[in-house]
Amino acid sequence: MGVCCCKEKAPDELVALPSSARPPAEVVQDPPSRITKGVDPRLIESLIMEMLRVAATRVDTDDESPESLMKLHVIAERDDGWLQLVTCMVNVIPVDDPFGPTAISILLDECPLPARETVINVIEFYGLSEERACLGNGNPRVERNICITLGCIAEKLVGPNSVAVLTEDTLDYLVTYLSPQYESCIVLFALIALQKFSHTSENRLIIKSRLESIQEHPLLILETFANSNDYVWRQVGFCAQWALDNIFLIDGRVLSYETVDVTGIHAMLNSHDVSEYLQLSSNGLEARCDSYSFESVRCTFQVNDGIWYYEGVLVTSGVMQIGWATRNSRFLNDEGFGIGDDIYSISYDGCRRLVWYNARPLKVQKVPAWSPGDVLGCLLDTEAKEVIFYLNGQQIAMSKDIFNTTRQGFFAAASFMAYQQCRFNFGYEMFKYPPTDRRYTCFNDFGRLTVEEKQILPKRMYMAQIRNSTVQENICTICYDGIGCCMIEPCKHKGTCSVILS
């Protein structure tokens, strides 16, 4: 079975790029001679910057790809063009642009697959090594962008090619950065790159033993930053802890879910109601996404009526959609749909300054873009039928839309783009900016969770549970949930359940 069906639009052949008569501009380093400079790097760099600007304002995922992005794809079709694109990206993407890291992911994800030699060329081109890392603070932008790029390549080429890319030198380069003496933004993305390389089991074992060979395990040092008030170091701490619990386990280290004190916590992010790649802290109050997909989560506490308030403390300032959802809202992480992208959920995205409902954005006027440390307040009032968003105590938007479809069964919920992180306060701590114009309640005062429900197990343990679970016989051959009791007329096919047939 399975016939080819290319009725869907195959990408049209693109118009050739204007060839520039200007001589190629100098790049930071002289590339090895085998890298030909096909297109003027200045042109590529300006296309990248344009794409960055467009990405920040683009809201409709159905839109055609921006023209700059299409042009960059054409350039990347040739192996030397791909290499050029990578080097230009590394040169120009600014550290302080909240879209920067995501832009690198987007560009690489939508480009033609590179050959292994091309990727190896990147490593040789940059002369990645321990020595290079030691000099790294000289230009944090370039080093950070190299780390982001390595992570994207590892994610994209998972398997034998990822093993080939993680040479001794690449490993030296990345591991050297796992130290508080370097710029936090480089440390963060070096750690994320190592996590992404470890998606390939062989690499995971290599990295794990390498980390353990160092006198003081670098992740144990970095883990101590998990509660830092510096928002980049805090991310480093979060990632280090997550990696220690999930990927690079150390004999004798107690997993954080076993030591974390959750006695006073009665509402948290629901580890059974979250899309695959979102990472949750062991106390269930902080979430992070490092995957190139739109990851979502709902809170454990269900609201049916009354006035409820919670706060999100932003650790990063990129695209997140934080607000309210119901059980009917779906987490289509791979398609970029999350909270606010259906009629059963509403959210605020303070990076682009948009209120989202039914995947339609409404621009909020005269409000600054959010930044790390800002507090997003979310209020749901079923009596007045209002959802209100506040930024640092200032009301920024009010919407009644969600009450068109929903009267009860609300959950606090949020979606995250790549490299975003947020901490949630459902009332376990004092609110920073409690609403003053109405009496409200908070989830933590009314929630009840069993000891098991509060446990956020490492994914590895959860996967083991799945492997060992059994599925009984005589059940529906489609969903394996219901009993396969129905027969379809007129073909007399048996074995499906009534839910599937309906």
Partner 1 sequence: MAALPRRIIKETQRLMQEPVPGISAVPSENNARYFHVIVTGPEDSPFEGGLFKLELFLPEDYPMSAPKVRFITKIYHPNIDRLGRICLDILKDKWSPALQIRTVLLSIQALLSAPNPDDPLANDVAELWKVNESEAIRNAKEWTRRYAMDN
Which residues contribute to the site for partner 1 (CB under 8 A)?
Answer: 1-8, 10-11, 13, 77, 110-113, 115-116, 156-161, 199, 201, 204, 246-247, 271-277, 330-335, 459-460, 462-463, 466-467, 469, 471, 475, 477-481, 500
Q: Which is nearer to partner 1, 27 or 343 (CB)?
A: 343
Q: Which is nearer to partner 1, 436 or 469 (CB)?
A: 469
Q: How far is the CB of 313 from partner 1 (least distance, A)?
A: 24
H or E segment to which residue 145 belongs: helix 140-156
Q: How far is the CB of 467 from partner 1 (least distance, A)?
A: 7
Q: How far is the CB of 288 from partner 1 (least distance, A)?
A: 14
Q: How far is the CB of 247 from partner 1 (least distance, A)?
A: 8
Buried b (16+ CB within 10 A) or exposed e, 399-416: bebbbeebeeebbbbbbb
What strand order describes the sheet that includes 279-280?
Answer: 279-280, 286-289, 420-425, 307-314, 375-381, 386-391, 394-399
Q: Rounded distance, CA 131 to CA 138, Å?
A: 12
Stated length of the chain: 502
Q: Rounded distance, CA 322 to CA 413, Å?
A: 6
Q: Rounded distance, CA 233 to CA 248, Å?
A: 20
Task: Scan for tokens 């995205």, then name that residue.
Answer: 349
Q: Which is nearer to partner 1, 224 or 302 (CB)?
A: 302
Q: How far is the CB of 106 from partner 1 (least distance, A)?
A: 13
Q: How far is the CB of 244 from partner 1 (least distance, A)?
A: 14
**Do residues 297 and 400 make contact, with C-beta atoms less than 8 angstroms apart?**
no
Q: How many other C-beta atoms can be found within 10 angstroms of the C-beta atom of residue 119?
A: 23
Q: Rounded distance, CA 123 to CA 146, Å?
A: 9
Amino acid identity of 425? N
Q: How far is the CB of 274 from partner 1 (least distance, A)?
A: 6
Q: Which is nearer to partner 1, 135 or 463 (CB)?
A: 463
Compute CA distances 375 → 223, 314, 393, 424, 432, whole Å: 24, 6, 8, 10, 8
Q: Which is nearer to partner 1, 250 or 501 (CB)?
A: 501
Structure tokens, 240 = 């280090």
Q: Which is nearer to partner 1, 6 or 451 (CB)?
A: 6
Q: Rounded distance, CA 29 to CA 36, Å?
A: 14
Q: Which is nearer to partner 1, 10 or 254 (CB)?
A: 10
Task: Scan for tokens 């006035």, then name that residue.
Answer: 307
Q: How far is the CB of 115 from partner 1 (least distance, A)?
A: 6
**Do residues 340 and 59 make contact, with C-beta atoms less than 8 angstroms apart?**
no
Q: Rounded distance, CA 201 to CA 171, Å?
A: 15
Structure tokens, 247 = 């990927």
Q: How far is the CB of 183 from partner 1 (least distance, A)?
A: 28
- CB neighbour list of residue 262: distance below 8 Å, 6 or more residues apart: 268, 283, 284, 454
Q: Which is nearer to partner 1, 132 or 459 (CB)?
A: 459
Q: How far is the CB of 162 from partner 1 (least distance, A)?
A: 9
Compute CA distances 219 → 106, 192, 451, whole Å: 28, 12, 28
Half-sphere exposure at residue 437, Cβ-oriented, CA atoms within 13 angstroms: 8
* Radius of gyration in angstroms for the set of CA atoms belonging to the chain, rounded to a whole number: 24
Q: Rounded distance, CA 48 to CA 54, Å?
A: 10
Q: Which is nearer to partner 1, 253 or 330 (CB)?
A: 330
For residue 349, count CB atoms less than 10 angstroms from its CB and return exposed for 0-12, middle for 13-18, buried for 19 or more: buried
Q: Which is nearer to partner 1, 422 or 497 (CB)?
A: 497
Q: How far is the CB of 393 from partner 1 (least distance, A)?
A: 34
Q: Which is nearer to partner 1, 261 or 473 (CB)?
A: 473
Q: Rounded distance, CA 396 to CA 366, Å?
A: 9
Q: How far is the CB of 460 from partner 1 (least distance, A)?
A: 6
Q: Which is nearer to partner 1, 91 or 282 (CB)?
A: 282
